[in-house]
Amino acid sequence: MSLAPTWQAARLVLQRDLTLATRRWDEAAQPLIFYVVVTTLFPLATTPDLSQLRVISGGVVWVAALLASLLALESLFRSDVEDGTMEQWVLSGQPLGWLLLAKVLAHWILTGLPLVLMAPVVGTALGLPFSAWGTLMLSLLMGTGTLSILGGIGAALTVGVRRGSVLLSLLVLPLAMPLLIFGARAVAMAMDGESPSGPLQLLAAIFFLSLSLGPLAMSAAIRISVEN
Amino acid sequence: MLADGALFEARSVNVWRGDRHILRDVSLELRPGQFLKVVGPNGVGKTTLLRVLCGLLPAESGGVFWKGQSVSQRSDHWPVELAYLGHQNALKGDLSSVENLRFLNGLRVNIDIDSINLTLAKVGLLSRGDLPTRSLSAGQKRRLALGRLALSGAALWVLDEPATNLDSAGVALVEQLIAEQVARGGLVIAAAHQPLLDDAVYTRRLELAA
């Protein structure tokens, strides 16, 4: 007998997590609900005047997306480590980084992608012009993807820590600052009618950097936590 | 050098936890068709030894060898030859028995639904194959975890207290699965407190002392 191909193993992990999410959809929907609620609160707390809201709309959507994607991160690997599944993954002989990346991809499909798709709706409610939709969605697409990977590294490092959510936020938020700055800047430039390609390219660079190094960091962190 | 006919071997394994010297110069070897029972009081390091043997925990000195090759050098065939059952069953409560076996065993080798059903019938869970495993009893979950081993087709089984939570029929099932594995020429290492195939000719004992 020989080892199953890696792509097949990664597909099984992805499929498993999506199946699990359909049975626990209330947990999966949590970040999206948080996102919509937070962005709705801003006009109530500041002003319903669209011309004033428009100025902060890009930043508000970005901050809300950043916090929403942090929400579900803490539990990303915890249940798999606690019930012994992770030990079996480590022993499976498959490259652990690919399995964890598949798990992060499932997490992104469930929490990041809905935020991207919902962005024009919440943006419009804040007076974001139609011309900035594309830039907002593209920047969030790369931003939430990077956040899922960065968060995966943080979750892997804190998986052995009881109530590690504070530690996780402290680890991930500083790394997420550049995303917030470039993302919000890109949206602001698009609203002003300038070309947002500069900040968007920087976002893409950060995304590919974390995509290439993230799996290595995650698998190293998980191996340490499984040793205990 | 590889001892004559020994497939699996551990040579003077030492492990410290903090300043506690848990495993002192533990050596063992197993030939095809042998069952090694690891015994000793609680906290003596049985689980630690099994985790070292699997490669989950690095030994501070000494080595573990499969077919004469160190298991720490990752090769493609060693993971396929090894099946490990720890304290945890590695089951997801929201998935059915069939899905649990498919998602976990499928990572290693290709499996089909017929062999899954055959395994479920063997461990007595066929009629519950589509129920979420959180609705199973603790003993039934353990049976399902044993089914994962039987389905794995691995040559070496490493079992940590396999009979936990099992009724007498369940213990008989463990003995039957081990006996079948040994009869196939496989190897089994198990840590156990209760009698487990103690009188069989192929059973050997390794006693860990504090």
Low-confidence ranges of chain A (pLDDT < 70): 1
Do A9 and B82 count as a contact with CB atoms less than 8 A apart?
A: no
**Domain layout of chain A by residue ranges:** 6-227
Are B80 and A12 in contact (CB < 8 Å)?
A: no
pTM, entire model:
0.91
Burial (Cβ within 10 Å: 0-12, 13-18, ≥19) of residue B108? buried
pLDDT in tens, B60-116: 888 888 888 888 766 667 888 889 999 889 999 899 999 999 999 888 888 888 989
Nearest alpha carbon to residue B71 among B172, B143, B155: B155
Task: Report chain A residues touching chain B, CB-CB < 8 A.
Answer: 1-4, 8-9, 12-13, 15-16, 19-20, 23-24, 79, 82-85, 87-94, 99, 226-227
Q: Give the minimum alpha-carbon distance from A88 to chain B in angstroms, rounded to a whole number.
A: 7
What pLDDT does B159 receive? 92
Q: Quick check: B99 and A93 CB within 8 A?
A: no
Per-block mean pLDDT, blocks of 10 residues, chain B (210 long): 67 86 87 90 88 87 85 74 90 91 88 89 88 90 91 90 88 91 91 84 83
B22: number of CA atoms within 13 Å, CB side?
A: 19
* 3-state secondary structure (DSSP) of residue B158: strand
Secondary structure (3-state) at A218: helix
**What are the percentages of helix, strand and coil residues in chain A, rounded to 5?**
85, 0, 15
- Chain B: residue whose CA lies nearest to A7: B107
Domains delineated in chain B: 8-207 (3.40.50.300)
Q: How many other C-beta atoms can be found within 10 angstroms of the C-beta atom of residue B19?
A: 5
- Are B26 and B5 in contact by the 8 Å Cβ rule? The answer is no
Our CA angle for A39, A44, A50, nearest 5°, is 80
Question: ipTM of the assembly?
Answer: 0.90
